[in-house]
């Protein structure tokens, strides 16, 4: 009887030990599964974080690309500005070249001017000579009420009458003074110069080449030196600076 009792107790103990062992194994496996799940979750979170990092880095790349594009655009604008500067310089050079060409043309025309003792002047206005040329003897000037030498002639005219160019020449001076009022000096070539005085509304400019019979200006009120002589054109001809008689060259 005692042997059977011992055997029964022994079986119960074995069963209990087996149950405990199985329970321990199950608990251990459960913990391992939990650990594995935690590791999987952590792995998934790491992957998600990496994905976010990659996603976050993409805009940076795009930003860098945008910066590159902006820099290239700035370079493009600089190139365009450079082209504009180059174009402006080219235009300035062209304008300067054209100005030089015009000046050369004018100089060429002036160099062709020729006048000598055999040439003639056309009458710049129609009228009688009221003051004669005389550098050897004195003549009487009404307004001044005195006798003196006369380096020019005065041709009677009317207010606002046209004054025409007496010979082709280059305008070398346009000015005014107390004695002859507004005047124009023209070079005829070969040292000859012709001065027109008592003018208004002058139509020519310095440096201009004016052809014979072209309009120079109009007859003005006489200055205080010629009040009694009345409306007139002052006309003076010089050769190398020396006054000579215009009547010797005016055609009749």
Tell whether 140 and 83 lie within a shared domain. no
**Domain with 42 in it:** 1-112
The percent of residues in the chain predicted with pLDDT above 70, rounded, is 57
Tell whether 13 and 74 lie within a shared domain. yes
| Mean per-residue pLDDT, 20-41 | 54
Q: What are 210-230's pLDDT values in tens digits?
A: 999 999 999 999 999 999 999
Residue 123 domain-assigned (yes or no): no
For residue 93, name the pLDDT band (cuts at 50, 70, 90).
low
Give pLDDT, residue 252: 73
**DSSP string across 64-99:** HHHHHHHHHHHHHHHHHHHHHHHHHHHHHHHHHHHH
Structure tokens at 212: 């014979």
Domain count, the chain: 2
Q: What are 127-145's pLDDT values in tens digits?
A: 999 999 999 999 999 999 9
Tell whether 93 and 147 lie within a shared domain. no
| Mean per-residue pLDDT, 168-194 | 98
Contact 195, 234 (CB under 8 A): yes
Tell whether 152 and 54 lie within a shared domain. no
Give whichever of 41-50, 54-63, 203-212 has the largest mean pLDDT.
203-212
Taking the C-alpha atoms of residue 164 and residue 106, their distance in angstroms, rounded to an integer, is 21
Give pLDDT, residue 112: 83
| Mean per-residue pLDDT, 200-204 | 98
User: Higher confidence at residue 33 or residue 158?
Assistant: 158
Give pLDDT, residue 89: 63
Give pLDDT, residue 129: 97
Q: Which pTM value belongs to this model?
A: 0.59
Give pLDDT, residue 69: 42
Give pLDDT, residue 77: 41
Residue 148 domain-assigned (yes or no): yes
Q: What are 94-128's pLDDT values in tens digits?
A: 656 565 554 454 454 555 899 998 999 999 999 99
User: Higher confidence at residue 160 or residue 75?
Assistant: 160
For residue 43, name the pLDDT band (cuts at 50, 70, 90).
very low
Tell whether 80 and 179 lie within a shared domain. no
CATH of the domain at 174: 2.70.70.10
Instruction: Please state, in angstroms and as integers, the Cα–Cα distance from residue 72 to each residue in 67, 79, 86, 213, following that order.
Output: 8, 10, 21, 65
Give pLDDT, residue 251: 83
Q: What are 151-164's pLDDT values in tens digits?
A: 999 999 999 999 99
Taking the C-alpha atoms of residue 93 and residue 87, their distance in angstroms, rounded to an integer, is 10
């Amino acid at each position: 009887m005692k042997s059977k009792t011992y055997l029964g107790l022994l079986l119960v103990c074995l069963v209990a030990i087996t149950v405990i062992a199985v329970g321990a194994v199950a608990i251990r496996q459960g913990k391992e599964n939990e650990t594995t799940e935690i590791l999987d979750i952590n792995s998934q979170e790491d992957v998600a974080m990496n994905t976010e990092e990659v996603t976050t880095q993409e805009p940076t790349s795009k930003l860098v690309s945008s910066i590159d594009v902006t820099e290239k655009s700035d370079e493009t604008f600089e190139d365009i500005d450079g082209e504009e500067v180059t174009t402006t310089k080219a235009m300035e050079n062209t304008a300067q070249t054209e100005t030089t060409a015009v000046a050369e043309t004018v100089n060429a025309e002036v160099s062709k001017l020729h006048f000598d003792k055999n040439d003639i002047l056309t009458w710049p206005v129609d009228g009688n000579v009221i003051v004669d040329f005389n550098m050897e003897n004195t003549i009487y000037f009404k307004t001044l009420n005195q006798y003196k030498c006369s380096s020019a002639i005065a041709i009677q005219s009317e207010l606002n009458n046209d004054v025409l160019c007496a010979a082709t020449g280059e305008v070398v001076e346009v000015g005014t003074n107390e004695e002859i009022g507004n005047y124009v000096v023209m070079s005829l070539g070969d040292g000859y110069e012709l001065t027109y005085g008592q003018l208004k509304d002058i139509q020519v400019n310095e440096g201009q080449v004016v052809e014979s019979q072209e309009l120079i200006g109009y007859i003005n009120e006489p200055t205080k030196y010629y009040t009694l002589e009345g409306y007139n054109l002052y006309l003076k001809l010089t050769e190398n600076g020396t006054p000579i008689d215009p009547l010797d060259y005016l055609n009749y």
